[in-house]
Chains A and B, each alone.
Chain A
Amino acid sequence: MARLWAVVVKEFLQVRRDRMTFAMILGIPLIQLILFGFAINSDPKHLPAAILLADDGPQGRTLLYGIQNSSYFDFTRALRTELEARQALARGEVQFVISIPENFSRELLRGKQPSVLVEADATDPSATGQAIASLRSLLDSSLQNDLKGPLSFLAGTEGPVDLRIHPLYNPDAITQYNIVPGLMGVVLTMEMVMITGLAMTRERERGTMENLLSMPTRPVEVLMGKIIPYVLLGYVQVTLILIAARFLFHVPMVGNIILLLLVALIFIAANLAMGVTISTVAKNQLQAMQMAFFFFLPSILLSGFMFPFRGMPHWAQMIGEILPLTHFLRIVRGILLKGNGVKEVSLQVWQIALFATIALSIGIKRYRRTLD
């Protein structure tokens, strides 16, 4: 009993001195509570939608008004052409495009059941599912006031309008098509940050750093030398996931794989830079692991990998926008499922590159050439 107590007291003393572990014990549940409690929402509302209104009658507007009132859709843009609509969807600027054709009001009143076309970016089925499901009854109820009295026959048994939904990019709503490409980003984030974080702190912990520093080298040689092998390892992982995606999960690959591989390099670099920065702050391997976890947790939860990005509150989206994984997910899904090219992905690429640059400058600035 005395010995048991001795071990308990010793552990407490050590935990108390290990401030990082102490921070983990308090920090991890707090972060999880906040993220899961406030940020995550599996029933996303206020999804950005564009309208393509060709009708000049009153019923078209009534219909749109009704849709906007549902809180599922926020009309952010008015478009003119189908081409613009496709571009807005490809870039992920809007989740939906709702098209109301010419002469909609007239045909409605004539009982011809005019069609309303809703194109959805369905790469992530969970982001659009609820909104689409609500559309049918939304259309009917928003036109209810207009179709009263003598016009009530128009409501009919099949509804006054013909609702056509085109779930683009992932028409069968297969979750794997969204998850498997996304997993590439998640695996790279986890591995690259941790592996470089450990690679540098290991030298310090084992005392080999002193030896390395006593040799005539420049920091950039050591840092780059440490990073390059892991870039190659990252590519092994990318290839593995792509092969599995293609042959195991039959994920469509519409876009240019070479472009994806090029962008992956920037993404890998961003994560390695994060790892290097962690390693210059962490005192030992355990701390490096813990810091990597602190980075990994929001990356998984706030990037749109597990939960729809647009379902999160504004502040959570702001944090998500900083993380390289958020942008990489958009790029991977965009290239593989939507067939996006350089033009559509370039904005996201710049945001990852910016993150990489900032992280690496902090890393190089903090890298110590001496033991001071």
Chain B
Amino acid sequence: MSDALAIDVRGMTKRFGRLTAVDHIDLQVRAGEICGFLGPNGSGKTTFIRMLCGLLRPDDGQGTCLGENVITGSEEIKRQVGYMTQRFSFWEDLSIVENLDFVARMYSVKNRREAVRSSIERLGLGERQKQLAGQLSGGWKQRLALAACMIHDPKLLLLDEPTAGVDPKARRDFWEEIHRLAAEGLTFLIATHYMDEAERCHRLAYIAKGKLLTHGTVSEVIAEAHLTTWSVSGPDLLALSDQLQGRPGVQQAVAFGNALHVSGGDAAALEQAIQPFRTSPHEWRQVESGLEDVFIHLMDETHHNALE
């Protein structure tokens, strides 16, 4: 089971007029894996997910999703996939239990009442089941959405920024649930902007401007970036940052709380560039590049490439 690919697509492309929203993306996700899908706003994450579940027709590309042809098998794929939209898309004028019941009917779930009941129980929605979905807070809406898109026992869940606008505690609970489900064999493709969430994924895919930039485990992604990072703390970091920016060897200088992360692809050049600034009261030390350093680096690179 663990070797089987839940998602195996190549060359997926979608154009809207002159804009190529998704540009020949290849993606493989193993069954039971949590794949984090990262990239700036408008990079094509949502479009890609919509193509996987048959909501948009790809202009190009081929492959399989849960063993079904991603172009021709979208009806069968829909049956086995749970899709959680970026914006809450259940019926706000229906109650929790009515929403779940409707979804269960649409997927022709066997033992519908039992499925709805256990779904409500498992997500701890019991006391609120008669409440209208529109009156729920962000965290509860997100729980309802997750419960609803899992009611038909999907094999693959496509979650589009599921934790946007959800408080940290609810997010942590949510991720624990995801890991528990993945252990049971469910596959996840989760679009997110949060770095801490990215680090919780088995595998990451980073896209920008419709292109897949990097793909792999967290450590693979970091290693592949060949980035050296120095952390500097001390007074007037903003002024220091301005002075460092643009020096040869310095690709980015980004504030992280009370420290500044200075990174570059060429370790020697970077060290040379920061040499004049390694004076008291600033404290410098080399750190391991984090995901965030890598992603900011990737984002900048695509930006520069686009400008050229």
Question: Chain B interface: which of A77-85, A214-222, A307-315?
Answer: A214-222
Q: A208-B89, A208-B90, A211-B85 are in contact. Are A216 and B55 (CB under 8 A)?
A: no
Chain A residues with Cβ below 8 Å from B89 are 206-208, 210-211
Q: Is B300 an interface residue (CB 8 A)?
A: no
Q: Is A4 an interface residue (CB 8 A)?
A: no
Q: Is B175 an interface residue (CB 8 A)?
A: no
Binding site of A, secondary structure by majority: helix, strand, loop or mixed?
Answer: loop
CB <8 Å contact, A214 and B78: yes
Chain A residues with Cβ below 8 Å from B79 are 216
Q: Is A213 an interface residue (CB 8 A)?
A: yes
CA distance A38 to B300 in the complex (A): 66
Instruction: Give, as a whole number of angstroms, the nearest-CB distance from B141 to chain A.
Output: 12
Chain A residues with Cβ below 8 Å from B56 are 370-372
CB <8 Å contact, A214 and B55: yes
CB <8 Å contact, B90 and A211: yes
Select from chain B the residue with minimum beta-carbon distance to A214.
B83
Q: Is B24 an interface residue (CB 8 A)?
A: no
CB <8 Å contact, B55 and A213: yes
Select from chain A the residue with minimum beta-carbon distance to B80.
A216
Beta-carbon contacts under 8 Å, A46-94 to B: none
Q: Is B87 an interface residue (CB 8 A)?
A: yes
Chain B residues with Cβ below 8 Å from A216 are 75, 78-79, 106-107
CB <8 Å contact, B91 and A208: yes
CB <8 Å contact, B78 and A215: yes
Q: Is B88 an interface residue (CB 8 A)?
A: yes
Chain A residues with Cβ below 8 Å from B106 are 215-217
CB <8 Å contact, B55 and A207: no
Chain B residues with Cβ below 8 Å from A210 are 55, 85, 89
Contact with A along B54-88 (1 / 0, CB 8 A): 11110000000000000000010011010101011
Instruction: Give, as a whole number of angstroms, the nearest-CB distance from A226 to chain B.
Output: 13
Q: Which of the listed residues B55, B88, B107 has the most CB atoms from chain A within 10 Å of its own CB? A: B55
CA distance A240 to B106 in the complex (A): 34
Q: Is B12 an interface residue (CB 8 A)?
A: no
Chain B residues with Cβ below 8 Å from A371 are 50, 55-56
Chain A residues with Cβ below 8 Å from B207 are none
Instruction: Give, as a whole number of angstroms, the nearest-CB distance from A203 to chain B.
Output: 9
Instruction: Give, as a whole number of angstroms, the nearest-CB distance from B162 to chain A.
Output: 14
Instruction: Give, as a whole number of angstroms, the nearest-CB distance from B251 to chain A.
Output: 38
Q: Which of the residues A206, A215, A370 comes within 8 Å of B92, measured between beta carbons? A: A206
Select from chain A the residue with minimum beta-carbon distance to B55.
A371
Interface of B with A (CB < 8 Å)? 50, 53-57, 75, 78-79, 81, 83, 85, 87-92, 103, 106-107
21 sampled A-B residue pairs with Cβ under 8 A = A206-B92, A207-B85, A208-B91, A210-B85, A211-B83, A211-B85, A211-B89, A213-B55, A214-B53, A214-B55, A214-B78, A214-B83, A214-B85, A215-B107, A216-B78, A370-B54, A370-B56, A370-B57, A371-B50, A371-B56, A372-B57
Interface of A with B (CB < 8 Å)? 206-208, 210-211, 213-217, 370-372
Other contacts beyond A206-B92, A214-B85, A372-B56: 19, CB < 8 A: A206-B89, A210-B55, A210-B89, A211-B83, A211-B85, A211-B89, A211-B90, A214-B53, A214-B83, A215-B103, A216-B75, A216-B78, A216-B107, A217-B106, A370-B55, A370-B56, A370-B57, A371-B50, A371-B56
Which 5 residue pairs are nearest across A and B when measured between Cβ atoms?
A: A211-B89, A216-B78, A214-B83, A215-B106, A207-B89
